[in-house]
Amino acid sequence: MRAGEPPSPETSPTELEIIRLIRRTVERSPAERVETGIGDDTAVLLPQPGARLLATTDLLVEDVHFRRSWARPFDIGWKAMAVNLSDIAGKGGRPLWALVDWLSRPSGSRGRRGVVRSMRQAGAPHGVAIVGGDTSTSPRGWFVNVTLLGEHEGSPRLRSGAKPGDAVAVTGTLGRSAAGLAVLEAGLATRPGVSPEALEAVAAAHLRPPRAAPKGAGSARRAACTP
């Protein structure tokens, strides 16, 4: 689907608005080795000769991975990009190109700007360009999926290659995101013996996990890394 084409029976005006919004947003960031990006049916990319292509994808589903009652559109888009950055980091690779799929109720399209802006902000510091994807309406809530492509110029570290004596590096604080989910699900603004700042910190860790790419990429060259 091209952004300038008239609506077809399968393409609603809202879908065209989202395509145009994504294109306007991503054009603000430089795209490395993208011959053809958003605006055609298929992106044309220029991989580094001799490099291995890395591909990962993660799907976020409303009322399974997040709830609209406590996750803002910016949170949802950020997390969708961040979890994929962590996967590429775990292989010691460099993230480059993202494909974005988004389904929402027609009434839920108001949050589209926040989702797209947060994806760009999460990926841009690592040189990630959004080069395409798909969008449609959904009868049962939001579905946000990011497929991230990256490269590794050497030999990516695999889980299957682990052996006794290897070092395993974990970035961040274990259990922090799970604690944040528990706080959000319970709607706890206060809890005896726990400061409001601590509750806000763990909630933020779940809603907007850190982008692990720079730290993870360096660690994974030396040992298996799980961001």
Task: Specify the pLDDT at position 14.
Answer: 61
Q: Give the percent of the chain with pLDDT over 90.
A: 44
pLDDT at residue 145 is higher than 90: yes
- H-type alpha helices, the chain: 13-26, 73-90, 112-123, 176-186, 196-207, 213-220
Between residues 13 and 178, the one the model is more confident about = 178
Task: Specify the pLDDT at position 122.
Answer: 93
Q: What is the mean pLDDT of residues 161-168?
A: 85
The answer to whether the pTM exceeds 0.85 is no
Q: For 40, which DSSP code?
A: B
The pLDDT-based confidence of 196 (bands split at 50, 70, 90) is: confident
Could you report the per-residue pLDDT of 4-45, keeping only the tens digit for each?
444 344 444 466 676 777 777 666 666 788 888 887 789 999
Cβ atoms of 56 and 146 within 8 Å: the answer is no
Say how far apart CA 200 and CA 85 lie, in whole Å: 24
pLDDT at residue 203 is higher than 50: yes
Say how far apart CA 14 and CA 103 lie, in whole Å: 11
Task: Specify the pLDDT at position 110.
Answer: 66
pLDDT at residue 2 is higher than 70: no
